[in-house]
Structure formats: C-alpha cells, structure tokens
C-alpha cells in the first residue's frame, strides 16, 4: 500500500468516530508501526490530524474544543438556508420525487434536505430526522409519522446529536437516507465537524440506499472529516452548475447522478 493510499485509509478511519488507535491502524494498513508513526507525523504537520496517546484524532476536534461545547464547526443553519436557495429548492423537490408512499426514510439535518419537506405531504411516510427544523416542517402533514434520536440539541443548527460517539439511535431501518455534506471530492463525502460525521455514519448503517443532496458549490472545496467514500453513495442530486469534471468523478465511482433543474 502506497503512502497516499494509507493516508486516505487513515482519514476514512478518523471520519467514523474522530479517533483511531495505533493497534487498529496496524491491523488495517498492513504496515509496520514505524511506517504508521511516520505517516501520522507527516499528516499532523499538514494539519490533517492530531497525534494523541494511543493513536490519532481528527484535526477538527481541536478547533471544536476551543469553541462552545454546544457549537458545531460549519455554517449555522440560519445562514446556510439562504445560500444557493433556488438550487437547493430544486434539489429538494427532485429528492422528494424518489420517495415511495408508506416508505421509511431518514432525513439528515441540513439546509438542502430541509427543502424536501413541502413535497412529502400525502405520502404517509415514516421519517426519522435529527433536525428540529425538518420535524417542525413535517408536523402539520397528516399521515407522516415522525421519529427523533435522543441526544443534545445544538442550537445553531437546531439539530439533535449524541456527542462522544454515543449511540442514541432508535431501532429503525430506512429504505432511503437523504443527507447533505460540507464538501465532496475524490476522498469522499466530508463534514466540517467530527460529531456530524459520526452521526451520519450511524445513519448510513441504518439505510438500504444513500442519497446525497448537494448544490454544485460543494464540489469546489474538499476538506473536512470524511463521512464515507463515494462508493458508499448510491445517488447524488445536484444542480446544473456542477462541472463536468465533478460529474465524471461521481460516475466513475459508480454513483447515479440526478441534475435538478
């Protein structure tokens, strides 16, 4: 395994919980302890992670610890909701068109997934969401059953999350998971905060199909904590502003692409 391949594997491992141990890396990378320590030292110098006793943790954790303990890295919902609004509305409508009557869904919190809500009425859906914005939007819809996980409410995003990797998910399996991202690149789907990353990983494990909703500007940056590889995504819904290179990247990974107009 080449150094770049090991680095990608390390970032994917960090993206799951925000921490990875030396023992786990030795087992998964087929590399010597000395090689792994050199990899981690190089990645720490590049700002990709922080070495700690027993392993490494995602660099984003350090920044989050300097902020309020109930604040998440990234753009607050009230600011992001107005960005690229026309594209997000089109993406949300296209996503809602994939839903089958009576289906069980997971809708992850976000300003793009939020735009699905007006188009879900009358489908008799069962919806698990960690977003109070989404829950409030769906409450008036008769026949829509709502579930929420337990955890702490992060006010800036109005989202319920379980810090520290705690499992607060109800026993629920969904046909489809609809989620957003802070960035998308060849490394995979990324979020700004490791708590969001861990939450989305748990959602992915509870769904048969993963649908990613991202406006085209999310392909312009590629940094953050890795949620999953592109190969774990079934469908990406984006807008016509996405570059041909970005679309080719998705299709090469075997991802179905829907352009919302």
Q: Burial, 58: exposed, middle or buried (Cβ in 10 Å; 0-12, 13-18, 19+)?
A: buried
Q: What is the mean pLDDT of the chain?
A: 85
Is the model's pLDDT at 157 over the cut of 90?
no
**pLDDT range class, residue 196, cuts 50, 70, 90:** confident
Number of Cβ within 10 Å of residue 229's Cβ equals 15
Q: Burial, 48: exposed, middle or buried (Cβ in 10 Å; 0-12, 13-18, 19+)?
A: middle
Q: Name which of 74-78, 136-140, 142-146, 163-167 the model is least confident about.
A: 163-167
With beta carbons less than 8 A apart as the criterion, state whether 157 and 72 touch: yes
**pLDDT range class, residue 164, cuts 50, 70, 90:** very low
Task: Say whether 77-260 and 3-58 share the same fold.
Answer: no
Q: Answer with the residue of higher pLDDT: 136 or 63.
A: 136
Q: What pLDDT, on the 0 to 100 scale, is given for residue 65?
A: 47
Query: Over pLDDT 70: what percentage of the chain?
Result: 85
What are the sequence ranges of the domains in the chain? Answer: 3-58, 77-260
In tens, the pLDDT along 35-94 reads: 999 999 988 887 778 888 788 887 654 444 444 445 555 566 666 767 889 999 999 999
Q: Taking the domain 3-58, which CATH number applies? A: 1.10.10.10
Angle at which helices 3-17 and 194-205 cross, to 10°:
90
Give the separation between CA 146 and CA 9, rounded to whole angstroms.
36
Q: Taking the domain 77-260, which CATH number applies? A: 3.40.50.1360
Q: Answer with the residue of higher pLDDT: 158 or 163.
A: 158
**pLDDT range class, residue 166, cuts 50, 70, 90:** very low
pTM value is 0.71
Q: Answer with the residue of higher pLDDT: 162 or 138.
A: 138
Q: Which of 202, 212, 182, 190 is nearest to 80 (CA)?
A: 182
Give the separation between CA 202 and CA 212, rounded to whole angstroms.
15
**pLDDT range class, residue 3, cuts 50, 70, 90:** confident
Give the separation between CA 94 and CA 261, rounded to whole angstroms.
9
């Amino acid at each position: 395994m080449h150094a770049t391949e090991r680095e990608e594997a390390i970032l994917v491992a960090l993206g799951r919980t925000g921490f990875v141990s030396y023992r786990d890396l030795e087992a998964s990378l087929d590399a010597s302890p000395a090689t792994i320590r050199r990899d981690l030292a190089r990645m720490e110098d590049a700002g990709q992670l922080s070495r700690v006793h027993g392993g490494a943790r995602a660099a984003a954790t350090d920044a989050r610890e300097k902020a309020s303990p109930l604040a998440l890295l990234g753009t607050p919902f009230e600011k992001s909701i107005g960005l690229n609004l026309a594209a997000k509305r089109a993406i949300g409508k296209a996503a809602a068109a994939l839903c089958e009557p009576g289906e069980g869904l997971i809708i992850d919190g976000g300003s793009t997934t939020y735009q699905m809500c007006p188009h879900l009425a009358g489908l008799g859906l069962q919806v698990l969401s960690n977003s109070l914005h989404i829950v409030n939007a769906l409450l008036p819809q008769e026949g829509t059953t709502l579930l929420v996980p337990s955890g702490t409410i992060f006010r800036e995003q109005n989202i319920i999350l379980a810090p520290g990797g705690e499992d607060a998910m109800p026993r629920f399996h969904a046909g489809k998971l609809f989620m957003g991202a802070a960035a998308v690149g060849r490394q995979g789907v990324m979020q700004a905060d490791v708590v969001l990353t861990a939450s989305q990983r748990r959602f992915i494990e509870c769904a048969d199909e993963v649908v990613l909703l991202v406006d085209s500007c999310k392909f312009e940056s590629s940094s953050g904590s890795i949620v999953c590889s592109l190969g774990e995504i079934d469908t990406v819904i984006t807008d016509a502003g996405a570059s041909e290179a970005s679309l080719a990247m998705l299709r090469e990974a075997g991802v179905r692409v829907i352009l919302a107009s």
